[in-house]
Amino acid sequence: MKTTKTQNRCNCKARTRPITFMLALLLFFSGMKAQVTIGDLTEPKEFSALEIVSPEGTGGMRLPQLTTAQRQQLEGSDAFILAKTGKAKGLTIFNTTTNCVETWNGAEWISMCAQLKFSPNYNVNSGTTELNLKGVFVKGTGDDKKRGTDVVHSSMAVGVFRYTNGVEQSYPGLDYTDDNSGVKVTIPPTILVNGSGELTVSVEGKVSPDYAGKAFDIPVTVIISGVKHQLYVRVNAGCGAYTKAKTIPSLDGDLAWLQFQCFNLGANTNLSNPFQYITGNADGSGGTLGYLYQWGRRTDGHQLRTSTTTDIKSASIIPNHSNFITFNPRRPENHPDWYSETANNTIRWGDGTENFNMQKGLSDPCPVGWKVPSQAQWFSLERFSDGKDASDSYMFGEALYLPKAGIRSVDGTLNSSEHYYWSSEAYNSSNTSAAVGGKAIRLQSNGYPARYGAFSPQGNSVRCVAN
């Protein structure tokens, strides 16, 4: 029987000659043009160094697949560290954690996913699109408007910036001081989450006098993954509330912001915090409650809660005494007023109209630069400000605190269960032809304040608005 020996030796030299020849040709022509097409015989475009073609349209280029953890290991390698600001630029991977293509730009990984978006472009309450105003600057700032003293507002949270399409980008944070207002804005460093998330914003500092009492926007630029996002931080330097919904940024002061004094007339304006209930002295001073004014009267002493009473009406629009003028509703009279005449009744505190911004009246008790608010101004706050009712106060938004300060009834007795704030608009009773009082808002036990009319001898609180 003949045995056949099988040879396993390969004639590799012969087989590799064509391959070597082809490689040499490829290298030769590549060296001449420095351009290559893979997957097709067509010439690459003049602007292409490398073109990859799928002739049948059934394939694509598969990038290296790395998780975020693996990418971080790559970043920590000696080779990457040495080349990270040079030859490592342009390194591209597919991140399987974020499901995004990422490219190294020499400083950070730039994601190719849907672009990060901030909406709205101003600070809001966490989880909502409601404007956040907790960063209230109530401290006086060089003008003569009392807004409390020594109020601590260092690094106060003013809400968040809400974003979508996050892909774990790193954000170095922000430490920016606005040259115009003097307010410092801080956003801490963080790693954005996948999808939707929030950046916390804080403010601190002492505002410049030009911005005292205003609500305004501070423009800030947030740079993430090389992309600039123009955002605005809304703050206000004083007490007040919005009369309209916020729409566009207002760098110099929002006209929809209605500025009020931080305290009732007669309250202690040197208190550090105007947003608290302090009873104070028997006459209304010393705390946050303040005095109780009869509608249409000046500051003449009658407003003290302890002032003496008289049932004699004044023959002058400006009484020459400090007595609280009472009225007996049980006694039949045609004119239930502290003033015996009917002339000038409607312009004591206003201008006799129902306009939003009335002219200041003849006997308005508010100091220079301020006036008694119109009923329309009070009502605008009811419609556009987020109200918070408490047992001892009512809060419009985050910056207008009204203590439930009681009233002084028309007979001169104090009533701690009723709470009114005067407006400058006159009130006509259904039983009289002439104005006999003023309109007011009434702070109720719960819910929004109600609009009421009250006879002028009633003593109510006064909160002045900017004139």
pLDDT at 225 over 60: yes
Between residues 303 and 6, which one has the greater pLDDT?
A: 303
Dig out the tokens for 115 from the structure: 């672009």
50-52/36-38 β-pairing: parallel
Torsions phi, psi of 210, nearest 5?
-65, -20
Does the structure show a pLDDT above 80 at 246?
no
397-443 pLDDT, tens per residue? 888 999 999 999 999 999 999 999 999 998 876 555 555 789 999 99
Which string of DSSP letters, residue by residue, matches 176-216? EE-TTT--EEEE--EEPPSEEEEEEEEEES---GGGTT-EE
Pick from 223-227, 259-263, 327-331: least confident: 327-331
**Residue 147 pLDDT grade (very low, low, confident, very high; cuts 50, 70, 90):** low
Distance separating alpha carbons of residues 3 and 419, to the nearest angstrom: 120
Q: 88-137 pLDDT, tens per residue?
A: 999 999 998 878 898 999 988 888 877 889 999 999 999 988 888 766 77
Judged against a pLDDT cut of 70, whether residue 16 lies above it is answered with no
Tens-digit pLDDT profile for residues 50-73: 888 888 778 888 899 999 889 999
Q: Which of 6-15, 160-169, 350-359, 434-443 has the lowest mean pLDDT?
A: 6-15
In three-state form (DSSP H/G/I as H, E/B as E, the rest C), the secondary structure along the chain is CCCCCCCCCCCHHHHHHHHHHHHHHHHHHHHHHCCEEECCCCCCCCCCCEEECCCCCCCCCCCCEECHHHHHHHHCCHHHHHHCCCCCCCCEEEECCCCEEEEECCCCEEECCCCCEECCCECECCCCCCECCCCECCCCCCCCCCCCCCCCCCCEEEEEEEEEEECCCEECCEEEECCCCCCEEEECCEECCCEEEEEEEEEECCCCHHHCCCEEEEEEEEEECCEEEEEEEEEECCEEEECCCCCCCCCCCCCCEEEECCCCCCCCCCCCCCCCCCCCCCCCCCCCCCCCEECCCCCCCCCCCCCCEECCCECCCCCCCCCEECCCCCCCCCCCCCECCCCCHHHCCCCCCCCCCCCCCCCCCCCCCEECCCHHHHHHHHHHCCEEECCCEEEECCCEEEECCCEECCCCCEECCCCEEEEEEEEECCCCCCEEEEEEEECCCCCCCEEEEEECCCEEECCCEEC
pTM exceeds 0.85: no
- The CA distance from 259 to 444, in Å, is 23
Give the model's pLDDT for residue 13: 45
> Would you state the pLDDT for residue 174?
96
Give the confidence band of 144 by pLDDT, cuts at 50, 70, 90.
Answer: low
**Residue % of the chain over a pLDDT of 90:** 44
pLDDT at 224: 87
Question: Which pLDDT score, from 0 to 100, does residue 5 have?
Answer: 38
Residue 56 and residue 58: Cα distance in Å, rounded?
Answer: 5
Share of the chain above pLDDT 70, in %: 83
Measure the CA angle with vertex 116, ends 114 and 117; round to 5°: 115
SS3 19: helix
- Give mean pLDDT, residues 348-375: 92
